A = this chain, B = another copy of it.
Amino acid sequence: MPDKYRSPPPTLPPEQAQAERFEKARSAQATAVLEDYAELISDLIATEGEARPTDIARRLGVSHATAIKSIARLKREGLATSKLYRGVFLTEAGENLARRSRARHRLVVDLLVAIGAPRAAAEADAEGIEHHVSDETLAAFARYLNRK
């Protein structure tokens, strides 16, 4: 009997399903900072030629100490490299993350604008929303924008 006719559709107890949704949101949040930094570092390198902690801090609106600490985390996770008193660079993995994040970010902004949100609100909201959009939903966004 093919799988598709087998009985056990993962009809999770609704309680557990809800718990899983919350867990997913929490784990998305945990990587949000990494995505923001990767995206920003990549942009800075592209437009300024280098990504320096002070610039990163100013763009994110945090103290330079906070930026440096987060950059340390990026390094721990294998997303970035840097030498003392030199700029920050992305590893291959970091570049990939940055690329995906940027693409998602743009799609989210475009979709919000297409729906009718004011540009400024769309850009502000996208900063928080982008980290929680799954690939499936993202694909739906892309299809919608193509249709228009």
Chain A residues proximal to chain B, CB less than 8 Å: 15, 18-25, 28-29, 32, 36, 58-62, 111-112, 115-118, 121-125, 127-129, 131-134, 136-137, 140-141, 143-144
Contacts and interface: CB of A to CB of B under 8 A. Distances in A.
B58 A15 contact: yes
Contacts of A131: 128
Given A25-B127, A112-B137, A131-B128, A60 B122 contact: no
B117 A128 contact: no
A4 B29 CA distance: 39
B140 A22 contact: no
B128 A115 contact: no
B129 A61 contact: no
B140 A112 contact: yes
Contacts of A60: 18-19, 22
A59 B15 contact: yes
Contacts of A133: 125, 129
Contacts of A28: 128
Contacts of A32: 29
Contact of A20 (B36, B61, B116, B128): B61
B137 A117 contact: yes
B127 A129 contact: no
